[in-house]
Amino acid sequence: MGLGIEIEKERPPDPGPEIYRSEFPSDLMARVDVMTAVCDALKSRNGFAGEDESHMFRLCFDEALVNAIKHGNRFDANKKVTVTLYHAPDVWGVRIEDQGKGFDPKTLPDPDDPNSLLLEHGRGILIMKSIMSEVHYYDRGNRLLLVKRRNESAPEK
């Protein structure tokens, strides 16, 4: 099966107007305030179908932020992570950008391969794809857009 991702040549359309933007250093503790601000903004706009969806998104968002800090910027505190939240009545999205070199999706382990079961990496993208309506990687793979459409369940596998 594989992860079925590729680096898109064009930037996907932003899902609605920008309502929040933050830039922070590549430090794992620095992500906490941004996670709280984004989740609070979505809750105040009824962006979640319920608490379960809120918790699932928080898991997904945390995974994306950790990937940007750890794999993208390689914990370099001089490099920043930028988070932008977009919201419209029927869709919202979060863009996460790091200043790293990007990545080649072909180098990621296949989560269906039994030899990948004990690896410490490679499941984050699978988590994101199972929770969000759309997952887009673009530029060099250093920009990620997570999209959730209202009244839509997670994509079928």
Q: What is the pLDDT of residues 78-95, one digit of tens each?
A: 999 999 999 999 999 999
- In this structure, of 69-73, 88-92, 112-116, 122-126, the range with the lowest mean pLDDT score is 112-116
Q: What is the dihedral of CA 122, 123, 129, 132, to 10 degrees?
A: -130
The pLDDT value recorded for residue 136 is: 93
CA 45 distance to own-chain centroid: 20
Please state the pTM of the whole predicted model.
Answer: 0.88
